[in-house]
Amino acid sequence: MSVAATLSGEQEKGSALDALIAMVADDLRAVNETIVGRMHSQVSLIPQLAGHIIAAGGKRLRPVLTLASSHLCGYTGKRHVKLAACIEFIHTATLLHDDVVDESDLRRGGPSANAVWGNKPSVLVGDFLFSRSFELMVEDGALPVLAILSHASAVIAEGEVLQLITTNDTETTEEAYLEVVRSKTAQLFAAACRLGPLVAGRPVAEEEAMDSYGLNLGIAFQIVDDVLDYSAKQETLGKVIGDDFREGKITLPVILAYARGNEEERAFWRRTLENQEQTEGDLRHAIALMERHAALTDTIGRARDYGDKARRALSCFPDGPMKSALLDVVTFCIERGY
């Protein structure tokens, strides 16, 4: 499967995200061309490995947000294309390093890069994409962009380390969990959205509004992702669930179920997540405990609160099709949790 073929390939139709993607389709094609062109290196393993993960691709939500926020702010230039590619490069670099850290064999339903090529090139190609992203920003030439993305990158790394520390720790608080989510996921959503008003030369208040939209959307997105890892519906769709459970990651559904559980239940969580002693049926039992305590639905409830904040952040922008699409994407990111 060539990268170019996948990058230009069709998206599934129907969702609010697809509607948003359709509105920026031409720009997104240009972003994909930039990605393919700029992940090139004479060291052929680099585009091979980078192409593998970029082709697996998903829907490019983060660069789409940069494109959409630029349009929302009336931007008519071309800078947003290169900057959206920067966002995707940073995202891809963190995915490559994540998979090494998580020792994942799968990524988006296919084999992960580290499973195919080993950890070593995954670490180094991540570094390459990260550096290349900064080279692209330098070509763009705006220090505020470099400030936003260098800061976001540092915060992402901090969030990943914090997640590592909370792994296997059933005493992890909801606050610590949210700090991880805000740092490792939402910070890049916020940066992606902020670039729109920035390139459009809009007032700082609009930058902050889009930052808030992205931040809260990103938090909601990650919270829902953490629910999906325990979702029976996902399983019926053929998706693998239980990765977080197997790795001992302490996500909000676990935190709520643990807080509401009795001593016997807490002993179960400590055995499975803290001591990593898991046997067949444990994942099923974990899901049953979450359902008993409404941990999954309440977690979705938290995501909804952040979704509301994201929607409210757009109030300063004039109504129109792009704003509607961005509002609908919030709903989509949360409702996929069912």
State yes or no: residue 42 binds a copy of itself (CB under 8 A).
yes
**Residue 314 DSSP class:** G
Q: Which two tokens stand for residue 10?
A: 């069709």
Q: Which two tokens stand for residue 4?
A: 């170019």
- Residue 254's nearest CA partner among 279, 235, 282 is 282
3-state secondary structure of 262: coil
User: Candidates 138-146, 216-224, 301-309, 326-334 — which segment interacts with a copy of itself by CB under 8 A?
Assistant: 138-146
Amino acid sitting at position 153: S
- Do β-strands 106-107 and 110-111 pair in parallel, antiparallel, or remain unpaired? antiparallel
State yes or no: residue 146 binds a copy of itself (CB under 8 A).
yes
Which lies closer to a copy of itself via its Cβ, residue 78 or residue 120? 120
State yes or no: residue 119 binds a copy of itself (CB under 8 A).
yes
State yes or no: residue 190 binds a copy of itself (CB under 8 A).
no
**Which residues lie below 8 Å from residue 136, measured CB to CB, with a gap of 6+?**
34, 38, 82, 83, 85, 86, 89
Find the binder of a copy of itself among 52, 79, 91, 97 (CB under 8 A). 97
State yes or no: residue 162 binds a copy of itself (CB under 8 A).
yes
State yes or no: residue 134 binds a copy of itself (CB under 8 A).
yes
User: At closest approach, how far in Å is the CB of 59 from a copy of itself?
Assistant: 25
Let me know: does 256 contact 298? Beta carbons within 8 Å. Answer: yes
With both helix axes pointing from N to C terminus, report the angle between 61-72 and 321-335 in degrees, rounded to the nearest 10.
150
Compute the distance between CA of residue 318 and CA of residue 276 in angstroms, rounded to an integer.
51
Find the binder of a copy of itself among 45, 240, 267, 288 (CB under 8 A). 45
- Residue 257's nearest CA partner among 228, 222, 232, 230 is 230
Find the binder of a copy of itself among 16, 24, 137, 227 (CB under 8 A). 137
State yes or no: residue 204 binds a copy of itself (CB under 8 A).
no
Interactions with a copy of itself, residue window 242-281 (CB under 8 A) = none
Compute the distance between CA of residue 48 and CA of residue 30 in angstroms, rounded to an integer.
20
User: Candidates 134-142, 244-252, 262-270, 306-314 — which segment interacts with a copy of itself by CB under 8 A?
Assistant: 134-142
Which lies closer to a copy of itself via its Cβ, residue 38 or residue 336? 38
State yes or no: residue 175 binds a copy of itself (CB under 8 A).
no
User: At closest approach, how far in Å is the CB of 108 from a copy of itself?
Assistant: 20
State yes or no: residue 121 binds a copy of itself (CB under 8 A).
yes
Find the binder of a copy of itself among 100, 200, 215, 227 (CB under 8 A). 100
Find the binder of a copy of itself among 29, 120, 284, 292 (CB under 8 A). 120
Q: What is the DSSP string of 153-201?
A: HHHHHHHHHHHHHHTT-TT--HHHHHHHHIIIIIHHHHHHHHHHHHHTT
3-state secondary structure of 315: helix
HSE (CB half, 13 Å, CA atoms) of 18? 6
User: At closest approach, how far in Å is the CB of 52 from a copy of itself?
Assistant: 14
Q: What letters, b where the CB count within 10 A reaches 16 and e where it falls short, cover 212-221?
A: bbbbbbbbbb
Find the binder of a copy of itself among 131, 173, 275, 276 (CB under 8 A). 131
The site for a copy of itself (CB under 8 A) is made up of 41-43, 45-46, 94, 97, 100-101, 119-121, 123-128, 130-132, 134-135, 137-138, 141, 143, 146-147, 150-151, 153-154, 156-158, 160-162, 164-165
